[in-house]
Structure 1
Amino acid sequence: MNAKKEVKKVVLAYSGGLDTSVIVPWLKENYNCEVICYCADVGQAEELENLEERAKQQGASKIIKLDLREEFCKDYLWPLIKSGAVYERKYLLGTSIARPLIAKKQVEIAWAEGADAVAHGCTGKGNDQVRFELAFTALDPRLKVIAPWREWNIQSREDALAYLAAHNLPAPTKNPSFFSRDRNLWHISHEGGNLEDANSEPHEDMFVLSSSPFAAPDEPETVEITFEQGEPVALNGVPTPPVKLVETLNALGGKHGIGRIDLVENRLVGMKSRGVYETPGGTILMFAHNELESITLDRETMHYKDVLAHKYSELVYFGLWFTPLREAMDAFFQSTQKVVTGSIKVKLYKGNMIVAGRQSPYSLYREEFATFGHSQVYDHTDAAGFIRLFGLPSKVQAMMKGLGEGIPPVPTEKIIRD
C-alpha cells in the first residue's frame, strides 16, 4: 500500500492489546504520520501495565495516560444508575457507557497536541466503531477518523501476530486466550472462543471478576447502600468515594457470584452476537437503586421513567451519548431523583440478591395506609364504586359482544343501576 500523506499527526485510542499493538506501526507505515498513543484508565486494572514501554517500542512518539475513573463514575455511571437503563432485559451497558468518555478525552488530546486525525482499533462488525465515530463527529467533525480494521488486509489473530513478527516487534502477552474482552470499573465482557456457539456453556475458568454461585460462600452477607438524590454515597453507613465504592461492591458481589449474565444481543450493525458479562458491583447498585425508587417515586413517575429507561438504554448502546435527546432525558431523570435518598440493605447469597431493609425520609410507603385494618385515609366501601367505573369499558365490551351473539339487549336503566 502506498503511504498516505494527508495525515500529519494521529491520536490512537491505545489499549496495548494485539490490535492496537499492530495499529501503531501500521499507521506509521501507511500514513507516514506521527502517532500519539492515548490510554484512558477507566478501571482496566492490570491491563495497563508497561504501556509506555510497549507503545514507544512499536513506534509511538509519546503515550498519554489519563486516570478517568472518578469522572467515569460521576458523569457516566451515576447517570446510568439514575436512569435505570438495561439493554435487552439484561445488559448493564458496561462497554457502551465507557465509550463516550474515552472518545471525548481523545478529541481533547487531539486539540491539545495539534493532531488532525484520531484512530481506533474497533472491528468493522462491532458496535464500538459506531460509538467512537459518532462521538468524534459530535465533538469535532473536522478530525479525520482512521479505522484500520476497515482498511487493512489483516483478518485474524494469526495475521496480526505475523505482522508483528515481520516488523520484529514482540506480541503482547496480556489476554493470551481467544476471548475478546473489554474491562473497566463497571464490568468485564467476554466474546469469541467457544461462546460463538450459542449452545455452549461458558467455561468456568473464563470468568475474572466473579466466583461461581455454586462455589460461593454458604453463609449470606448483607451490605447497606446509602443514596443521596439517586447517587450512592456510603456503604454500611461509612461515606465512600465513588471509585472505592464500586471496587468494594465488585469484590463483595464477585465473592458471592453476583452479576453474571449470558446474553445473545442485537448489535446495532444488524447481527446477533453472544456475550458473557460480569458486573458484580453494578448489579448490586442497580438492584438497590430500584428498591429505593420503589418507596420514593409515585406510581405515574416510576412507570413513565421505566418507559424512558428503555429508550435511554438504546441511546447509550447505539453511541448517541452526545445528543440533545440524551441531555434532555438526563434532565428528566435528575428531576426524579430529588427524593431518591435513603438506604437499602441487600443480602447476597450464591448469585442472589435479597432485600433485607428499605428506609427513606421521602418514603411514600406508610404502614398505617397499607394495613388491612382500619385506616383514616381509606374506606373499604369506596372500592366498589371505583371498580364499577374502572371496569365500565370491560362491561360495555361484554354487553356488545352479547348483543352481537343474539343475546337480548340489557335495559338501559339496569346498566346505569348496576
Structure 2
Amino acid sequence: MEKPKKVVLAYSGGLDTSIILKWLMVEYGCEVVTFTADLGQGEELEPARKKAEMMGASAIYIEDLREEFVRDFVMPMFRANAVYEGQYLLGTSIARPLISKRLVEIARAEGADAIAHGATGKGNDQVRFELSAYALEPGIKVVAPWREWDLTSRTRLIEWAEQHQVQVPKDKRGEAPFSVDANLLHTSSEGKVLEDPAQEAPDYVYQRTVNPEDAPDQPEYIEIGFEKGDPVSINGAAMSPAEILAALNEYGRKHGIGRLDLVEGRYVGMKSRGIYETPGGTIWLAAHRGIESLCLDRGAAHLKDELMPKYAELIYNGYWFSPEREMLQALIDKSQEHVRGTARMKLYKGQASCVGRWSEASLYSEAHVTFEEDAGAYDQKDAEGFIKLNALRLRLLAMRNRRGQP
C-alpha cells in the first residue's frame, strides 16, 4: 500500500491507540487526525483531547453519538429481536458501523486518504470496521497497525512507547487481567483470566450489574411503551432513544439482569470466550417480544424468527451497510407498523419477564379463546374439517407404508 499522507484514527485515548497515533507519525510520516466517539462507554473523554494535542494530532474530533447510536443502529436491530448464536445481543458489533461511518465522513471533510483502527488481527472488529468503511468509501486506505508492526507483546509495546515519548501510566505497565469494550448497550470482557472456558469468571469482571444473588429481594415492576416497534416511554414518561436505554440499564444494573458467559464462533474462524453485560437491552428485548406477541400476525412473527439468525449474523460479521441487511431491514420495519402498546415488566434477581401487555392494535381476542361461552365467535365443529384436511397427507403416507409391510 502506498504510504498515506493523512490518516483519521479511531482514538480512545488509551495506551494502545496513543501508541498507534505516534506509530503512524513515525512509520508513515503522515498527519494524524483523531476521532473519539462518545457511545455511552461511561468514560471521561476530555483527557483524550489533551493526549491527542500533546502528541501532535493535526485535528481532534470528540463527538457525542449516543442518540444517533441508539436511534439509527440499536433500535433497528432490536426491531428484529437480533440475537447471535442464540444468546449474544450484539453490543460490540452494532457500534462498529457507526464509528466507521464517522471515520469516513471525517476523512472526506479533512481531505484524508486513509483511516486507521486499533483492532487486533485475530478479532472480528477489524472486519467490521473495514467492511463498513469500504462500503461507504471504496477507495479509502485502511491502516491496521496490529497486522503490520512487530510489537507483539506488552513489553515490546511499552518499550516502544518509552523510546518515542508516549506517556505510559503506572497501571498500564503490567498485563491487564482482561480487555474491555463498552458502550451504552453493553460491556464486553475478553482475554487473560477469561481465556479458559472451563473456569467461572471472577465476579470482578462484571462492571454494569450487581450479582443477581445480591439483587433486591423484592421484584420491581415497570411499564415500557412502544410505537412502531421502538420503546418510547417508561412508566408513562416519554424519553429519547438514548435516555430510554440509559434508564433501562439502571433498572437492569440494580436487579442483576443481562449477564452472559458465552463461547462464540468468531467470523475469522476461531472460538472465543467473552463475558457480556447488556442490562437494558435484555429488558428491552423481552418487552418487545411481549408487545409483538399481541400485535404481530402468526405468519409474520414466524417469518421474522426464521430470518432473525441471518440478520444477526450479518451484523456480527460486519455487513451492516450491505444490500442484504438493508433488504431484511425493510421487511422487519414493515412488520413493526402496528407494534405499539405497553409491556409490563417484572424485574427480579437476574430475570426480566413480561407479565402483562396491552395494545390498541392487539390481535388477541378473548371472545375466541375463552373457555366460557363465546357467543358464537368460534364454531368448534370447524376444527374437524381443518384437522382432516391437514391429516390427509399423513394418512396417505401411513396407508402406503402399511401396504409395503410383510
Task: Give the TM-score range, shorter chain.
Answer: over 0.9
| 2:400 matched residue in structure 1 | 400
Structure-2 change in CA distance of 1:68 and 1:172 (3 Å): farther
| Partner residue in 1 for 2:350 | 351
Listed one character per residue, the Cα deviations across residues 381-401 of structure 1 (whole Å, up to 9, x for unaligned) are 222221122122222222222
Return the offset for 1:173.
6.8
Aligned to 1:113: 110
* Deviates most, 304-313 or 161-170: 161-170
Partner of 1:30: 27
- Aligned partner of 1:147 among 125, 144, 148: 144
Q: Equivalent residue of 1:182, what SS? A: strand
Question: Which amino acid is 2:233 matched to?
Answer: A
Does structure 2 conserve the Cα–Cα contact (< 8 Å) formed by 1:5 and 1:31? no
Q: 1:6 offset after TM fit, Å?
A: 2.7
Aligned-pair CA distance for 1:18? 2.5
Q: Hey, what does 2:193 align to over in structure 1?
A: 194
CA–CA separation in structure 1 for the residues paired with 2:216 and 2:348: 8
How many correspondences in the alignment? Answer: 403
Identify unmatched segments of 5+ residues in structure 1. Answer: 407-418
**Offset, 1:356:** 2.4
One-letter amino acid matched to 2:365: R
Residue of structure 2 aligned with 1:19, choices 9, 16, 20: 16
1:91 corresponds to which letter in structure 2? Answer: Y
Q: Distance in 2 between matches of 1:57 and 1:159?
A: 23
Q: CA deviation at 1:172?
A: 4.9
Cα gap change, 1:174 to 1:211, in 2 (>3 Å): farther
Distance 2:202 2:271 in 1: 21
Does the aligned pair in 2 maintain the 1:47–1:174 contact within 8 Å?
no
Indicate the SS of the match to 1:45: coil
Structure 1 residue 174, shift from structure 2 partner: 7.9
Aligned AA (1:329): L
Equivalent residues of 2:37, 2:99 under 8 A apart = yes
Distance 1:172 1:79, change over 3 A: farther
Quick one: structure 1 residues 68 and 174, their matched pair in 2 at CA, closer, same or farther if it must change by over 3 Å? farther
1:288 aligns with 2:322: no
- Give the conservation status (yes or no) of the 8 Å contact 1:110–1:116: yes
**1:389 and 2:389 equivalent?**
yes
- Partner Cα separation in structure 2 for residue 48 and residue 312 of structure 1: 33
Query: Quick one: structure 1 residues 151 and 277, their matched pair in 2 at CA, closer, same or farther if it must change by over 3 Å?
Result: same
Moved more, 40-49 or 226-235: 40-49
3-state secondary structure, aligned to 2:101: helix
User: 1:90 and 1:172, CA in 2 relative to 1: closer, same or farther beyond 3 A?
Assistant: farther
Distance 1:219 1:373 in 2: 35
* 1:203 equivalent in alignment to 2:233: no
The aligned counterpart of 1:380 is: 380
Judge which range, 153-162 or 335-344, deviates more. Answer: 153-162
Matches within 5 A, 1:214-229: 214-229=213-228
1:336-369 CA distance string (max 9 Å, x none): 1111000001010001122221000011111111
8 Å contact kept, 2:69–2:95? yes
In structure 2, relative to structure 1, the CA distance for the partners of 1:172 and 1:228 (3 Å cut) is farther
Q: Distance in 1 between matches of 2:154 and 2:244?
A: 37
Determine the structure 2 residue equivalent to 1:56: 53
Preserved CA contact (<8 Å) 2:282 2:352: no
Aligned-pair distance for 1:326?
Answer: 1.4
CA distance in 2, matches of 1:294, 1:5: 55
Residue pair 1:124, 1:149 contacting (<8 A) in 2 also: yes
Q: Which has the larger radius of gyration?
A: 1
2: CA distance between counterparts of 1:200 and 1:351?
21
For residue 325 of structure 1, report the CA deviation from its aligned partner.
1.4
TM-score by length of 2: 0.96
Please state if 1:163 is matched with 2:160.
yes
What percentage of aligned pairs have identical amino acids? 52
Farther-moved stretch of structure 1 (171-180 vs 156-165): 171-180
Distance 1:231 1:173 in 2: 45
Check conservation: 1:126, 1:267, Cα contact below 8 A: yes
Matched, 1:362 2:383: no
Matched residue, 1:45:
42
Residues 303 and 172 of structure 1: is their aligned pair in 2 closer, same or farther, counting only changes over 3 Å?
Answer: farther
CA distance in 2, matches of 1:341, 1:173: 52
Task: State the Cα distance separating 1:102 from its structure 2 match.
Answer: 0.5
Q: In the alignment, what sits opposite 1:414?
A: none
SS at structure 2 position matched to 1:46 = coil
1:138 partner amino acid:
A
Is the Cα contact below 8 Å between 1:5 and 1:32 reproduced in 2? Answer: no
**For the Cα contact (< 8 Å) 2:45–2:62, is it kept in 1?**
no
Matched position secondary structure for 2:112: coil
> Aligned residue for 1:133?
130
- Deviation, structure 1 residue 318: 0.8
Q: CA deviation at 1:264?
A: 0.6
> Matched residues in 2 for 1:48 and 1:89: separation?
34
Go from structure 1 to structure 2 and tell me whether the alpha carbon gap of 1:5 and 1:354 turns closer, same or farther (over 3 Å shift): closer
Structure 2 SS opposite 1:94: coil
TM-score (norm 1): 0.93
In structure 1, what residue type is equivalent to 2:191?
Answer: G
Please name the residue that 2:95 is paired with.
98
More divergent stretch after superposition (167-176 vs 334-343): 167-176
